[in-house]
């Protein structure tokens, strides 16, 4: 039996334990991950920048003693800088850009002992819930190569689902960790706003809607990795509430009898039958575990105003990137149609429009927070539809913003947590009749990842998914 046969289905925690016991060497894990990437990436296009020689050199050197010493890792090609390695952010105009420093998050990954073996694909500037950039081509879903893996962290999710590595960095501004976790049948948690510092390059992104974290194979990997990466730095614009104890101690802890509300309601957007089945199935599972479950959802006074505010902030975020390059002389032909369409949309707003949108978000956040005085958890579908065919988000020549409209129909449930800053996770508890994973979306109180981890580990024990593998892994 080869090393690959023995190790390719273990999570990061198990691999790190083998390294600590000296039963396997870091260079063996790195070479094994490289072999799997080389085998599966031609079909998936999940990894766009190999870092093999850097990884091999790191594996042979003195690796920091951390929770994941010697474990191979992949880095989404957006926001987090790795010194000396290209960072394109899914855009053809940045293909030659090479950062000269590590972001604080990358420093923390290195201190945790992780060895980055490559960078994963993302859509241009992370603006879509799919991963089909013109610059690098589409990433395919391991469960069906004709479907999207979700986005914008689709490359990372596809890589973890196909067992290239047990976990990979992602970020989430409107669902970009949870959406691909749902599409690819893996675990994805968006932490509380500001739980992880975005230093040194950013204070926040899109008014605090964007968050850093990862997509993982197991719940315990997610908890231990968040322990290794959480924390703010002096000068950060705000800090997340302190935690009572390490997140890894919540894994396996008794969650008690939680008050769980569930809902598949949206405002004017139809929800696919499979997604409704998935949330009802998750609700029954929670009830069977002894939790108090009932159908309910937050009473938001003006949902359409929230959608408008989110659009203003999202467009402004896109424009803040594009405008820098426009000042350098670049124009419409240098960007994808949706990116340019969002930029032009943002140019029709003024500073007052943006601040009004921010205040609308804050008002809605308080309305949602009051719901969590009654309930511990809100359960919804992660997405309004199963993984869609590739090309579903392509802009049309007469309306480049139709991709944005389509996005709202697909991911109707995730953005609210980016607006409120609450932690939320997508769990792979259900597969439809076509063999596609459909995520269940659990939302916790602001600052309360602990309850999510306790519930997640209970659900993982009740309905484990680690042995559910895409056909590509057979």
Confirm whether 423 is domain-assigned.
yes
What angle, rounded to 10 degrees, do the helices at 104-111 and 219-229 form? 120
Q: Distance (Å, rounded) from C-alpha 129 to C-alpha 126?
A: 8
The number of domains in the chain is 1
Burial class for 407, CB neighbours closer than 10 Å (0-12, 13-18, 19+): buried
CA-nearest of 435, 439, 420, 425 to 381 is: 439
| φ/ψ of residue 434, rounded to 5 | -90, 5
Asked whether 264 and 279 are in contact (CB, 8 A), the reply is yes
Mean per-residue pLDDT of the chain: 96
Does a structural domain hold residue 310? no
Length of the chain: 474
Contacting residues for 333 by C-beta, under 8 A, at least 6 apart: none
Q: Which domain holds residue 12?
A: 3-302+354-473
- The CATH number for 10's domain is 3.90.1300.10
| Helical spans, DSSP H, in 251-293 | 273-288
Categorise residue 235: left if φ over 0, alpha if ψ from -120 to 50, beta otherwise: left
Kindly indicate the confidence band of residue 12, based on its pLDDT and cuts at 50, 70 and 90.
very high
Q: Kind and range of the H or E element at 357?
A: helix 351-371
Residue 154 and residue 182 in contact, taking contact as beta carbons nearer than 8 Å: no
The CA radius of gyration of the chain, in Å to the nearest whole number, is 21
Q: Using CA of residue 304, residue 208, residue 366, residue 215, what is the dihedral sign?
A: positive
pLDDT band of 474, cuts 50, 70, 90: low
pLDDT, tens only, 23-60: 999 999 999 999 999 999 999 999 999 999 999 999 99
Q: Is the peptide bond before 152 cis (omega within 30 degrees of 0)?
A: yes
Which range has the worst mean pLDDT, 1-5, 185-189, 302-306, 424-428?
1-5
Return the number of other C-beta atoms located less than 10 Å from residue 74's C-beta. 30
CA dist., res. 157 & res. 214, Å (int): 9
Can you give the pLDDT at residue 89? 98
State how far the Cα of 334 lies from the Cα of 125, in Å rounded to an integer.
Answer: 13
pLDDT tens across 98-116, in order? 999 999 999 999 999 999 9
Would you place residue 2 in the very low, low, confident or very high pLDDT band (cuts 50, 70, 90)? low
Domain assignment present for residue 258? The answer is: yes
Q: What distance in Å separates the CA atoms of residue 421 and residue 407, rounded to the nearest whole number? A: 20
Percent of the chain beyond pLDDT 90? 94
Torsion of Cα atoms, 94 then 100 then 102 then 104, to 10°: -90
In a domain, 107, yes or no: yes
Q: Give the span between the Cα atoms of 180 and 433, in whole angstroms.
A: 19
Q: Per-residue pLDDT for 1 more than 60?
A: no
In a domain, 372, yes or no: yes
Q: Is residue 282 part of a domain?
A: yes
User: Where in the sequence numbering do the catalytic residues fall?
Assistant: 76, 152, 176
Parallel/antiparallel/unpaired status of strands 47-50 and 377-381:
unpaired
Whether the pLDDT of residue 299 is over 50: the answer is yes
Average pLDDT over residues 90-101: 97
DSSP assignment of 126-174 equals G-SSS---TTT-PPPBTTBTTB---SSSHHHHHHHHTTSSSEEEEEESS
> Which residues make beta-bridge pairs with 154?
none
Per-residue pLDDT at 370 exceeds 70: yes
- Residue 308 resides in a domain: no
Q: Which residues contact 284 (CB under 8 A, 6 or more apart)?
A: 293
How distant, in Å, are the alpha carbons of 219, 371, 408 from that of 349?
A: 42, 32, 20
396 occurs within a structural domain: yes
């Amino acid at each position: 039996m080869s090393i690959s046969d023995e190790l390719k289905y273990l999570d990061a925690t198990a691999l790190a334990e083998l390294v600590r016991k000296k039963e396997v060497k870091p260079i063996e894990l790195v070479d094994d991950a490289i072999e799997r990437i080389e085998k599966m990436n031609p079909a998936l296009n999940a990894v766009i920048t190999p870092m093999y020689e850097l990884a091999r050199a790191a594996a042979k050197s003195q690796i920091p003693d951390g929770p994941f010493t010697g474990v191979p890792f992949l880095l989404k090609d957006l926001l987090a800088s790795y010194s000396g390695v290209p960072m394109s952010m899914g855009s053809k105009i940045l293909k030659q850009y090479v950062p000269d420093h590590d972001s604080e998050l990358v420093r923390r990954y290195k201190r945790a002992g992780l060895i980055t073996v490559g960078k994963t694909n993302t859509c241009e500037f992370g603006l879509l819930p799919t991963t089909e950039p013109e610059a690098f081509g589409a990433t395919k879903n391991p469960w069906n190569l004709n479907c999207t893996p979700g986005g914008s962290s689709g490359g990372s999710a596809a890589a973890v689902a196909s067992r290239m590595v047990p976990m990979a960095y992602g970020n989430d501004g409107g669902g970009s960790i949870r959406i691909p976790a749902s599409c690819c049948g893996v675990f994805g948690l968006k932490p509380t706003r500001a739980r992880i510092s975005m230093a040194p390059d950013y204070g926040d992104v899109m008014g605090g809607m964007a968050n850093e974290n990862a997509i993982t194979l197991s719940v315990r990997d997610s908890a231990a990795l968040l322990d290794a990466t959480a924390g703010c730095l002096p000068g950060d614009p705000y800090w997340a509430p302190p935690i009572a104890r390490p997140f890894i101690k919540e894994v396996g802890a008794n969650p008690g009898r939680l008050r769980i509300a569930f809902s598949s309601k949206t405002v004017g957007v139809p929800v696919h039958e499979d997604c409704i089945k998935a949330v009802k199935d998750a609700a029954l599972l929670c009830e069977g575990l002894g939790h108090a479950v009932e159908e309910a959802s937050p009473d938001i006074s003006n949902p359409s105003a929230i959608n408008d505010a989110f659009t203003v902030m999202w467009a402004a975020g896109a424009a803040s990137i594009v405008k820098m390059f426009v000042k350098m002389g670049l124009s419409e032909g240098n960007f994808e149609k949706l990116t340019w369409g969002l930029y032009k949309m943002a140019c029709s707003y003024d500073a007052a429009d943006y601040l009004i949108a921010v205040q609308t978000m804050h008002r809605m956040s308080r309305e949602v927070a009051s719901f969590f005085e009654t309930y511990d958890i809100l359960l919804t579908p992660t997405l309004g539809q199963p993984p869609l065919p590739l090309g579903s988000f392509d802009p049309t020549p007469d309306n480049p913003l139709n991709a944005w409209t389509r996005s709202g129909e697909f991911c109707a449930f995730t953005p609210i947590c980016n607006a409120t800053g609450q932690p939320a996770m997508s769990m792979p508890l259900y597969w439809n009749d076509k063999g596609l994973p459909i995520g269940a979306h659990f939302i916790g109180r602001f600052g309360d990842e602990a309850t999510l981890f306790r519930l997640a580990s209970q659900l993982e024990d009740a309905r484990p998914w680690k042995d559910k593998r895409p056909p590509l892994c057979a």
